[in-house]
Chains A and B, each alone.
Chain A
Amino acid sequence: MPPLTTAPISRATLALFAGASGDPNPIHIDIDFAKKAGMDDVFAHGMLVMAYVGRALTDWIPQSSLKNFGVRFTSITNVRDAITCTGAIVEKDAEQKRIRVEVQATNQDGDVKLAGDAVFEID
């Protein structure tokens, strides 16, 4: 999969993603709430990083072929993290129609933010 790298995640991006995705959890957008919850700062939605991986997948193979996509979030993504999404085919059936791709998202320091896989069935 061609890798995708984002700009550093800004607070503005978190605000827009909260509105667009529908996630009202203030931990991602309200620094007062985040501090009361024991965090130093707001942090990014795991689903924002998963959305970036989704973009990388559909930039590569049309979404109409995507049958399954799942990830484990392995560490918190912070404001100003720039995300790189990578993927590699790990399984394909004899007819090359069903492929499984292992995906990963890391930040600028190589810290892994999520790991998972996607399955495509290509006509």
Chain B
Amino acid sequence: MISKDFIGLELEPFTTTVEAGRLRFFARATGQSDPVYSDTDAARSAGYRGLPVPPTFLFGLELDAPDPFALYEKMGVDLGRILHGEQRFEYLEPACAGDTLTFVTRVNDIFDKKGGALDFIVQETVITNQYDVHVANLRRVFVVRN
């Protein structure tokens, strides 16, 4: 059972710059052949400032933070027992290569099911860019197999 004292905890904000090379790598790794995601000229022709961040990329970008799993260690949760239960993205403004994004994540809820066999950790993340524009909201649910 994870302590409910973690509910409401806000993690250290994390700021990082989206790199074109990383976006190209992500396109290759996910079998994405649409040139808009890897060719800057194609991206600009489509109206983007630079290579666009594809729909699921923002989840992983936050893991560039120093010690991204520190929270789970503090909770007493073994990384090997975590499953990704749910993930949602709400897109407010486009994000592109060259943007500097700030992630602020909050633990929203902790609960268990099946008599404690499964713990659930709900977190929400607000992402803003270098212009202080609200770019996206993310919600993730991690499930811990006890």
Contacts and interface: CB of A to CB of B under 8 A. Distances in A.
Interface of A: 6-7, 13, 16-17, 19-27, 33-34, 36-39, 45-48, 50-52, 54-55, 57-59, 62-64, 66-73, 76, 116
B115 interface: no
Contacts, number: 121
A26 to B, nearest CB: 8
Contacts of A6: 31
Contacts of A68: 88-91
A64 to B, nearest CB: 7
A119 B6 CA distance: 32
A34 B78 CA distance: 12
The B contact surface, by secondary structure, is mixed
Contact of A47 (B79, B84, B88): B84
7 contacts: A20-B29, A21-B60, A23-B63, A24-B63, A48-B30, A52-B30, A54-B55
